[in-house]
Amino acid sequence: METINYQNYRIEAENICVDYNGKVALYDANLRLQPGQICGLVGMNGAGKTTFFNALTGFVNISKGKIRINGESVRSAQKDQTIAYVPQNEGIDSQFPISVWDVVMMGRYGSMNIFRCPRESDVQAVKHAIERVDLTDHLSTPIGNLSGGQRKRTFLARAIAQRASILLLDEPFSGVDIRTEKLISELFIQFKNEGKTILLSTHDMIHVREFCDLVLLINKTVVAYGETSEVFTPENITTTFGGISPDFLFGPES
C-alpha cells in the first residue's frame, strides 16, 4: 500500500466538487502537481476551468473533497502567499486608475502590516519583479495606457513580487503580442528551474504541446489527466470538447 507524502505535492486536489446554488460546476475532480511541473488546464467555456482555479485559491468553497496546498489547507496557503493568480485580461477593469507599480505592489499586500505600508524589502521585490517582465520604463504608467501584452506582464510581475510557489494563469497567451509571448515562455522555464508549479488554462493546443509537462482535460469533471505526450490525444480532446473533432479545433493541416 502506497502512502502519500503530501509534502511532495504542491497541489493535491482530491474528488473536489463545486456547486453554485445547487448547480454543479465541477465534480469529482482530481489533480496532483509537484514542484517544477507545468500543467495545462484544457476545456470548453463553462467546463469548470475558472471554477477549478477559484477552488484552489479559496475564492469559492468546495462542497465535497479535499484540497491540500504544500500539504496544508487552502486557508494557510492564503496566509503564506503560496498561490498567485494571474487573471485573464478580460477579467480586470483596465480603466481602473492605477499604475503598474501599484498593481505589482499589491502582490506584497498579504505580507504587509494592516496599513499596507511598503518596507524596503517590498520596494526591492516590486522593482525586481518589474525588471523581470521588462516594464521598467512603465513604472508609473496607468494600466489603461498599456497594451494587452504589457498588462499581462504587469500581472505576472505581481505574481513574481508575491514570491508565490504556485502560479495559476488564466489564458496567459490570449491577446498578447509576440514579444510578450516570448517573454512569458522564457519566464516559464525560469519558474520551472526555481521549482515553482504552474497551472495554466488555455484554448491554444499548440501552447499545451510546447510548454506543458502535464495536461488536465476537463468537462465538468476530469476527462483525462497525465503526461501531455500520452494524454493529449485527438480522442481525449474530442471527448473534452463534446464531440467536436480535433480537425476542427486545430485546422485541417494538423
Is residue 81 classed exposed, middle or buried when 0-12, 13-18 and 19+ CB atoms within 10 A define those classes? middle
Is residue 158 a contact point for another protein (CB under 8 A)? yes
Inter-CA distances, 238 with 47, 214, 225, Å: 14, 18, 14
* Smallest separation (angstroms) from another protein to the CB of 168: 8
Is residue 147 a contact point for another protein (CB under 8 A)? no
Is residue 61 a contact point for another protein (CB under 8 A)? no
- Residue written as cell 516594464? 135
Q: Which is nearer to another protein, 142 or 175 (CB)?
A: 142
Is residue 54 a contact point for another protein (CB under 8 A)? yes
Is residue 81 a contact point for another protein (CB under 8 A)? yes
The span from the CA of 4 to the CA of 2, in Å, is: 6
* List 35, 36, 58, 175, residue binding another protein (CB under 8 A): 58
The span from the CA of 139 to the CA of 145, in Å, is: 12
Is residue 79 a contact point for another protein (CB under 8 A)? yes
What is the β-pairing status of strands 83-86 and 166-170?
Answer: parallel
Side-by-side strand order, sheet with 11-20: 23-33, 11-20, 64-69
Is residue 142 a contact point for another protein (CB under 8 A)? yes
Is residue 115 a contact point for another protein (CB under 8 A)? yes
Is residue 34 a contact point for another protein (CB under 8 A)? no
Q: Which is nearer to another protein, 170 or 240 (CB)?
A: 170
Is residue 89 a contact point for another protein (CB under 8 A)? no
CA dihedral 236, 43, 21, 13 (to 10 degrees): 70
Is residue 139 a contact point for another protein (CB under 8 A)? no
Nearest residue to 9 via CA among 71, 83, 78: 71
- The site for another protein (CB under 8 A) is made up of 21, 54, 57-59, 75, 78-81, 83-85, 87, 91-93, 96-99, 102, 106-107, 109-110, 114-116, 142, 144-145, 158, 162
